[in-house]
Amino acid sequence: MPRPIVAHIRPDAVHHNLEIVREKAARSRVWAVVKANAYGHGIERIFPGLASADGIALLDLDEAVRVRELGWDKPVLLLEGVFEPADVALVERHRLTVAVHCDAQLDLLIAAKPRRPIDIQLKMNSGMNRLGFRPDAFRAAWERAASAPSIGKITLMTHFANADEGEIDWQLDRFDAATDGIPGERTLSNSAGVLWHPNAHRDWVRPGTILYGASPTGASRHIADVRLRAAMTLTSRIIGVQTLTPEETVGYGRKFTVDRKMRIGVVACGYADGYPRHAPTGTPIAVDGVRTRVVGRVSMDMLTVDLTPCPNAGIGSSVELWGDQVRVDDVAEAAGTIGYELMCALARRVPVEIVPPEAANARPAPLRTGSYGR
């Protein structure tokens, strides 16, 4: 392996996080959301951790077929539905459930002649204003779907705009008023709804990012008491060390100026590996289990770290970019983004190792906080 960077994927962490979801939403069944290739983790890699889910939700027909080929025989949900008549044959062949969010999709399914009815999730736009029938049009859409021989079970669905910020009652009120008296199961809650809005759990919940150990808000402090485990740990090593004197600068653009004698470590990881180029000086990182900081601008293949808190570190020292010791949300928050983006951005060139259960169950050594820890 020419570079020491590697991403460790833990299916057992996904299983553990799924059990946390079951504790939080004990009366609901669970759609495990694996869109975007399981948030960058790889569907095939984390598949063993999904066994206890009641269904798998995703976006692409290709991903749905992959799930079926892995042996999944429980429900599979296409969260954006289908777009072409040819899609219906694949939906029927692989026994998929499809979201329906507009008249065009409803027309497509009504015109189809499948050998058996296709189950749908009829989506309401209760205030997110992306996809879905508006509340005043929802009942008519349901009546059309309910009378169509090509459509089977109808589940009622919506999506929250700001469950991660604490306010969903306005959407719940709209949804409940518009669906009053309409039969069928309900599915409302995303990850934030699962954690913080038990009144929205209903028949099914749809956790995504928390299955992988990341926070719906993008801030790890908000899930500090939830016991989630990181399903991805990105590690590398120090490949170079520079000892600098005051007024010397580091990296492209000379964005960081040394104010005292300082050792700088060069890490084999850059934005071409999926690390955010816009991560500023101060972004947390761990070297030999000690929390320190990124300094200077992130390059394509390398980034630089302050070795002051870890004076014994040198070439070959271990580095955790995110995972067990440095939460992906902490890196994302420093970079002005969310953990979802970092996990999904893991580059194809990064080698991946699947951590076996016995290693996954071993708890990592506690992180030591250096002088720049926060």
Long-range CB pairs of 105-112 (<8 Å, 24+ gap) are 105/81, 106/141, 106/144, 106/145, 108/82, 108/84, 109/82, 109/145, 109/148, 109/150, 109/151, 110/144, 110/145, 110/148, 110/150, 110/151, 111/85, 111/150, 112/85, 112/88, 112/150
Q: Mean of the pLDDT values across residues 36-64? A: 97
Class of domain 232-369: mainly beta
Q: Indicate whether 258 pLDDT > 60.
A: yes
pLDDT of residue 39: 98
Q: Indicate whether 1 pLDDT > 80.
A: no
pLDDT band at 2 (very low <50, low <70, confident <90, very high): confident
List Cα–Cα distances, 357 to 33, 52, 363, in angstroms: 22, 16, 12
Report the distance separating Cα 328 and Cα 332, nearest Å: 6
Q: Indicate whether 370 pLDDT > 80.
A: no
pLDDT of residue 371: 44
Q: Indicate whether 360 pLDDT > 60.
A: no
Any catalytic annotation for residue 261? Answer: no
Q: Indicate whether 205 pLDDT > 80.
A: yes
Q: Indicate whether 364 pLDDT > 70.
A: no
Nearest to 232 by CA among 4, 5, 65: 5
First vs last Cα of the chain: how many Å apart? 34
Phi-psi region of 343 (alpha: psi -120 to 50; beta: other; left: phi over 0): alpha
Q: Indicate whether 175 pLDDT > 80.
A: yes
Model pLDDT for residues 114-147, shown as the tens digit of each residue:
999 999 999 999 999 999 999 999 999 999 999 9
Domain residue ranges of the chain, discontinuous segments joined by +: 11-216, 232-369
Domain 11-216 has CATH 3.40.50.1460: no
Percent of the chain with pLDDT over 70: 95
pLDDT of residue 46: 98
Q: Indicate whether 359 pLDDT > 90.
A: no
pLDDT of residue 167: 86
Which of the following is catalytic: 35, 39, 123, 340? Answer: 35
Is-contact 190 139, C-beta < 8 A? no
Which of the following is catalytic: 153, 252, 255, 261? Answer: 252
pLDDT of residue 374: 30
Tell me the two tokens of residue 321: 């970019």
Any catalytic annotation for residue 275? Answer: no
The model carries a pTM of: 0.93
Q: Mean of the pLDDT values across residues 16-20? A: 98
pLDDT of residue 284: 98
Q: Mean of the pLDDT values across residues 169-196? A: 97
pLDDT of residue 358: 67
Percent of the chain with pLDDT over 90: 93
- Mean residue pLDDT of the chain comes to 95
Q: Indicate whether 311 pLDDT > 80.
A: yes
